[in-house]
Amino acid sequence: MESVRKVEISTSGKVIESPCGPIIHGLEDVLIKVTSISDIDGRKGILWYRGYRIDDLAKYSNFEETAYLVLYGKLPTRSELSEFSEKLASNRDLPEEIYSIIRVLAENKVHPMLVLESAVSALAGFDPKAGDLSKEALYDQAIRLTAVLPTIIAAHYRFSRGLGVIKPKKDLSHAANFLYMMFGSTPDEVSTRAIDLYLVLHIDHEVPASTFATHVAISTWTDLYSAIVAGIAALKGPLHGGANEAAMKQYLEIGSPSNARPYVEKLLAEGKRLMGVGHRVYKTYDPRARIYKDLVRELSEKKGNMTYYQIAEEVEKVVLEKLAPKNLYPNIDFWSGIAMYLLGIPYEYYTPIFAMSRVVGWSAHAIEYLNEHRLFRPRACYIGPHDVQYVPIDQRK
């Protein structure tokens, strides 16, 4: 069992020279804390949660158990798992006022990621312990937030289509209940597995932009709800969590496997980015993408629609040929949207579903950071003028 690994400092790290000294652009490879939540070997393509390889968790675990592991740092016993699952299930419903907020925004076509931010933000107002940073309150809030995100997303889906909301069912797993609240029937095994595996694979990833945003927020001793809103806001961008939606839109635009190569070649010749490809840390194939690719193949076969799997395979060939020499490989977003598409989920919900899982990692990191807390407050190198003479507005030209 390997303990501490040294973070590899990439050779391509972008350092900008400034009058005040070097600036590490985008904080590449800058360490912000010690952690025992997750670790990534970006060269070998290995991801661990609490020391367990993602491959093993994908094969043997499920969302509830992996969420417990990431939050509490150990695999649960049978009774701990059933207590945790029960707590998650009994926290699924929302106050009626939150359903009303979601309805108004959804009926006005507000993107579900924005609605997620708004609903989580508003939920803090319904928790008398929202600002309590004690361990006990934080764990309760982490569980509550994890429990309600699927309900917010499914309610948005229903309201935006003029459909009545479907209240959560306590006797279904986290993944199955989500699909039930979206579509109104108990999902089949493969569909449930597609969501469950997706959730396991996305729970945590060390300190990407969204998790860093959560750290910055919690470092001010704000409440956990607000820190999670910061995470959701940063996840939304297409360079981060929004890439799953963007990648699926690319496959839809490509339309057929034979159009994949010319499409990608044209896009790259125009200097554009292929969504679902490249990663700040992985300089090889993302291990989660490998795992999820197999699921997408199985799901495509079961659903009798191989088109998007085949399009992605053709795109992958061009990526491995043209971008892999630059250390750019498919990431998790390359494959994940196809599964969501096959489940009948519209693409604006793909990033919210990412948040549904990552909320666990954000919470675990916020709780961990408060143990060794210090306010985040970096500096910038000012290059503008000083002591400029103020001219009153009526004397300005």
Ligand X SMILES: CC(=O)SCCNC(=O)CCNC(=O)[C@H](O)C(C)(C)COP(=O)(O)OP(=O)(O)OC[C@H]1O[C@@H](n2cnc3c(N)ncnc32)[C@H](O)[C@@H]1OP(=O)(O)O
Ligand Y SMILES: O=C([O-])CC(=O)C(=O)O
Catalytic residue flag (residue 111): no
Report the candidate in 307, 293, 328 with the shortest Cα–Cα distance to residue 251. 307
User: Which position's Cβ is nearest ligand X?
Assistant: 278
- Beta-bridged to residue 15, according to DSSP, are 24
| Dist CA 268 CA 278 (whole Å) | 13
Instruction: From the list ligand X, ligand Y, none, pick the one residue 26 interacts with, judged by a Cβ distance below 5 to 8 Å according to partner type.
Output: ligand X
Instruction: From the list ligand X, ligand Y, none, pick the one residue 278 interacts with, judged by a Cβ distance below 5 to 8 Å according to partner type.
Output: ligand X
Contact call for residue 332 and ligand X (CB under 6 A): yes
Contact call for residue 322 and ligand X (CB under 6 A): no
Restricted to residues 235-264, the positions that interact with ligand X (CB under 6 A) are 239-241, 243
Q: Do 75 and 65 form a contact (C-beta atoms < 8 A)?
A: yes
Contact call for residue 129 and ligand X (CB under 6 A): no
CB of residue 247 to ligand X, shortest distance in Å? 7
Q: How many CB atoms lie within 10 A of CB 178?
A: 27
Contact call for residue 273 and ligand X (CB under 6 A): yes
Instruction: From the list ligand X, ligand Y, none, pick the one residue 281 interacts with, judged by a Cβ distance below 5 to 8 Å according to partner type.
Output: ligand Y
Catalytic residue flag (residue 333): yes
| Dist CA 141 CA 145 (whole Å) | 6
Contact call for residue 154 and ligand X (CB under 6 A): no
CB of residue 211 to ligand X, shortest distance in Å? 11
Q: Which of 280, 290, 303, 373 binds ligand X (CB under 6 A)?
A: 280
Instruction: Say whether 40 sits in a helix, a strand or coil.
Output: strand
Instruction: From the list ligand X, ligand Y, none, pick the one residue 213 interacts with, judged by a Cβ distance below 5 to 8 Å according to partner type.
Output: none
- Is the Cβ of residue 45 or residue 241 nearer to ligand X in the bound state? 241
| Dist CA 304 CA 45 (whole Å) | 31
What is the contact surface with ligand Y in residues (CB under 6 A)?
A: 205, 208, 240, 280-281, 331-332
CB of residue 317 to ligand X, shortest distance in Å? 15
Q: How many CB atoms lie within 10 A of CB 386?
A: 5
195 to 224: interface string for ligand X, x by CB under 6 A: -------------x----------------
Choosing from 111, 279, 286, 365, which is the catalytic residue? Answer: 279
Q: Which of 333, 338, 341, 367 binds ligand X (CB under 6 A)?
A: 333
Q: Which of 182, 201, 229, 277 binds ligand X (CB under 6 A)?
A: 277
Choosing from 333, 365, 373, 386, which is the catalytic residue? Answer: 333
- Which alpha helices (DSSP H) does the chain contain, by range? 54-60, 63-72, 78-90, 96-107, 112-124, 135-160, 174-183, 189-202, 209-218, 224-235, 243-254, 260-269, 287-303, 307-318, 332-342, 350-371
Contact call for residue 234 and ligand X (CB under 6 A): no
Report the candidate in 193, 212, 190 with the shortest Cα–Cα distance to residue 201. 193
Report the candidate in 206, 52, 203 with the shortest Cα–Cα distance to residue 142. 203
Q: Do 118 and 101 form a contact (C-beta atoms < 8 A)?
A: yes
CA distance from start to end of the chain: 71
27: DSSP letter: G
Q: Which of 13, 22, 26, 255 binds ligand X (CB under 6 A)?
A: 26
Number of residues that bind ligand X (CB under 6 A): 18
Contact call for residue 358 and ligand X (CB under 6 A): no
- Is the Cβ of residue 183 or residue 251 nearer to ligand X in the bound state? 251
User: Which position's Cβ is nearest ligand Y?
Assistant: 208
**26's tokens:** 């985008």
Residue 44 phi/psi, 5-degree rounding, is: -90, -15
**DSSP state letters, 325-369:** GGT--B-HHHHHHHHHHHTT--GGGHHHHHHHHHHHHHHHHHHHH
- Is the Cβ of residue 35 or residue 91 nearer to ligand Y in the bound state? 35
Contact call for residue 274 and ligand X (CB under 6 A): yes
- Is the Cβ of residue 328 or residue 340 nearer to ligand X in the bound state? 328
Instruction: From the list ligand X, ligand Y, none, pick the one residue 355 interacts with, judged by a Cβ distance below 5 to 8 Å according to partner type.
Output: none
- Is the Cβ of residue 124 or residue 355 nearer to ligand X in the bound state? 355
Q: What angle do CA 90, 235, 148 make, to 5 degrees?
A: 10
**147's tokens:** 């429990």
Chain residues that interact with ligand X, rule: CB under 6 A: 26, 208, 239-241, 243, 273-280, 328, 331-333
The catalytic residue positions are 279, 333
